[in-house]
Amino acid sequence: MKSLKKQIDWANKHELHYTPASIINGTIYPKKYTYDEFFYFVSLLIENYKNQPT
């Protein structure tokens, strides 16, 4: 039960009141986006990662 309580507290702290919640690299995306739109976001994240200086 402690684990469940911790999860509920975390969700409330981050105002996640729906499932599935879409979190990419710590960014919470609104529920309004479709999975196809998320592929676009992920593509941008990958491209940005590849272009970062090493």
3-state secondary structure 11-46: HHHCCCCCCCCEEECCEEECCCCCHHHHHHHHHHHH
CA–CA dist 17, 49 (Å, integer) = 30
pLDDT of res. 41? 78
Question: Which of 8, 29, 10, 7 has its CA nearest to residue 20?
Answer: 29
Per-residue model confidence (pLDDT) at position 27: 77
List the domain boundaries for the chain: 2-50
Q: Would you state the structure tokens that stand for residue 27, as one six-digit string?
A: 């960014």
Residue 25 identity: N
Taking the model in full, what pTM does it have? 0.43
The pLDDT tens digits for 5-53 are 998 898 889 888 777 777 777 777 777 777 788 788 788 888 888 888 8
